[in-house]
Amino acid sequence: MTENEGKVKLLGCWASPFSRRVEMALKLKGIPYEYLEEALPNKSPLLLELNPIHKKVPVLVHNDKILPESHLILEYIDQTWSNNPILPQDPYEKSMARFWAKFIDEQILTVGFRSLVKAEKGREVAIEEAREKFAFLEKEVTGKDFFGGKTIGFVDMVAGSIIPFCLARLWEGMRIDVIPEDEFPELNRWIKTLKDIESVRECIPHREKQIEHMMKVSERYKLA
Amino acid sequence: MAKEVILLDFWPSMYGMRTRIALREKGVDFEYRDENLREKSPLLLQMNPVHKKIPVLIHNGKPVCESAIQVQYIDEVWPHKNPILPSDPYQRAQARFWVDFIDKKMYEAQRKVYATKGEEQETGKKEFIEILKTLESELGDKPYFGGDDFGYVDIGLIGFYTWFPGYEKFGNFSIEAECPKLIAWAKRCMQRESVAKSLPDPEKVVEFMAMLRKKFGVE
């Protein structure tokens, strides 16, 4: 059996951008996998066994190897299956990709979801603060087809799972437009192009279901 | 002549310490510049416009931000001496998992230990000890987190050790009593030249923490 053969299982959730992005990578590389849906917020005994520290999806199981945390899973997949690479080879470019991925999952998620939902200083201020952060991404994708360059890569999967198919659905439910086309032409262009990519398209959660889900999640978060 | 590697840092930062150690492990010559965080240099603001934070590693004029990312970068650019991350993809993912764990959990818990009081401090102490015990359990009986060799997770955690005397003093507890194996591990790491040269005097860190406590109105 070669290095990358063997069974791949993914523990995920249909609405989780973190597990969707892993599916994008698996599909892009043509890796067959068994998908196990977690009925969150209830956590199955399997999830608690596979990810005792964080108790979160996604978890990838490859033969006897167990991997939590989507960024780690994506890099592991890229190193184990070398076709259609998603990370650059150059150490500097790679460090930039890791930087943006971290920025997206920390800062963008905070301003695009948490701060917006809590809106401690009012909604308008929250939207303005979100736009300040999105401006960095707008700049980063300018002049490129994708964050990864000519083809989609690590940052596209991280940003692509979170922004258009998770956060944007929340914003739709809240009836706000955080990244209007006139202010963010490049990001909007990138989103449109992303939808043409088969491995991305297959990983977009159902729109109405997702809007309903995000509104429920935001209600829970507000009360927390 | 501009130095090839410049590190913008702040002497008590446990994150900056990671990068210092990694550079020294590789024998890379670098220029260390201590930042005044109340008056950040134009270079810092230019090199890290997104976060405006230290540490920033500048290599041939190009910035690399975020300490964990810097350590991985250093390992990839200077691969031949003292490898920091394992070459096996799964072992590498495991090492990165633990540094990610430290990054997600340690900051808030340790902040509560020394910079708050009363119930918030007690909660912080419980959380902090639990985090250290989880790490100690991962270490097990190995000399280092990665096994026989000093590596990524050791580098990720050791900087916090200089803050331990301060946590103990202001939190009024003993970390060694709770996590003796972790203390033994830390002392082992301190014997390494790259670590000893990169960590400040813990007494100075205690003074710094005392100053912060006054600033937060806790003293």
CA distance between the termini of chain B: 46
- Of chain A, the percentage scoring pLDDT greater than 70 comes to 98
User: A8-80 sits in which CATH class?
Assistant: alpha beta
Residues of A in contact with B89 (CB under 8 A): 75-76, 79-80
Question: Using CA atoms, how far apart are residues B13 and A183, in angstroms rounded to an integer?
Answer: 38
Residue-wise pLDDT for A32-65, tens only, equals: 999 999 998 899 999 999 999 999 999 999 999 9
**Structure confidence at residue A41 (pLDDT):** 86
**Structure confidence at residue A13 (pLDDT):** 97
Residue-wise pLDDT for B139-174, tens only, equals: 999 999 999 999 999 999 999 999 999 999 999 999
ipTM: 0.95
* Separation in Å, CA of B101 to nearest CA in chain A: 9
In the predicted structure, residue A84 carries a pLDDT above the cut 90:
yes
* Separation in Å, CA of A155 to nearest CA in chain B: 15
Q: What chain A residue is nearest to B62 in terms of C-alpha separation?
A: A92
Question: Using CA atoms, how far apart are residues B31 and A47, in angstroms rounded to an integer?
Answer: 46
Looking at every residue in chain B, the average pLDDT score rounds to 96
At residue B1 the predicted structure's pLDDT band, cuts being 50, 70 and 90, is: very low
Residue-wise pLDDT for A175-224, tens only, equals: 999 999 999 999 999 999 999 999 999 999 999 999 999 999 999 999 88
**Nearest C-alpha neighbor of A104 from the set A153, A137, A56:** A137
Q: Do A79 and B89 touch (CB under 8 A)?
A: yes
In the predicted structure, residue A67 carries a pLDDT above the cut 50:
yes
Residues of A in contact with B77 (CB under 8 A): 91
In the predicted structure, residue B180 carries a pLDDT above the cut 90:
yes
3-state secondary structure chain B: CCCCEEEEECCCCHHHHHHHHHHHHCCCCCEEEECCCCCCCHHHHHHCCCCCCCCEEEECCEEEECHHHHHHHHHHHCCCCCCCCCCCHHHHHHHHHHHHHHHHHHHHHHHHHHHCCHHHHHHHHHHHHHHHHHHHHHHCCCCECCECCCCHHHHHHHHHHHHHHHHHHHHCCCHHHHCHHHHHHHHHHHCCHHHHHHCCCHHHHHHHHHHHHHHCCCC
In the predicted structure, residue A127 carries a pLDDT above the cut 60:
yes
Task: Assess A134–B contact: CB distance below 8 Å, yes or no.
Answer: no
In the predicted structure, residue B200 carries a pLDDT above the cut 70:
yes
Task: Assess A103–B contact: CB distance below 8 Å, yes or no.
Answer: yes
Question: Using CA atoms, how far apart are residues A146 and A189, in angstroms rounded to an integer?
Answer: 10
Question: Using CA atoms, how far apart are residues B130 and B162, in angstroms rounded to an integer?
Answer: 19
Q: Do A95 and B96 touch (CB under 8 A)?
A: no
Q: Do B93 and A67 touch (CB under 8 A)?
A: yes
A-to-B residue pairs, Cβ atoms closer than 8 angstroms: 53
At residue B219 the predicted structure's pLDDT band, cuts being 50, 70 and 90, is: confident
Burial of A76 per CB tally in 10 Å (0-12, 13-18, 19+): buried
Q: Which of A62, A72, A99 sits opposite B96 (nearest CB)?
A: A72
- Of chain B, the percentage scoring pLDDT greater than 90 comes to 98
Query: What are the structural domain ranges in chain A?
Result: 8-80, 91-223
* Separation in Å, CA of A186 to nearest CA in chain B: 19
**Structure confidence at residue A4 (pLDDT):** 61
Task: Assess A79–B contact: CB distance below 8 Å, yes or no.
Answer: yes
The domain A91-223 is classified under which CATH number: 1.20.1050.10, 1.10.490.10, 3.40.50.300, 3.30.420.40? 1.20.1050.10
Task: Assess A67–B contact: CB distance below 8 Å, yes or no.
Answer: yes
Residue-wise pLDDT for A141-189, tens only, equals: 999 999 999 999 999 999 999 999 999 999 999 999 999 999 999 999 9
- pTM, 2 dp: 0.96
Q: What chain B residue is nearest to A81 in terms of C-alpha separation?
A: B89
Q: Which domains does chain B have, with CATH numbers?
A: 5-77 (3.40.30.10), 89-216 (1.20.1050.10)
In the predicted structure, residue B2 carries a pLDDT above the cut 60:
no
Structure token pair of residue A113: 């979801």
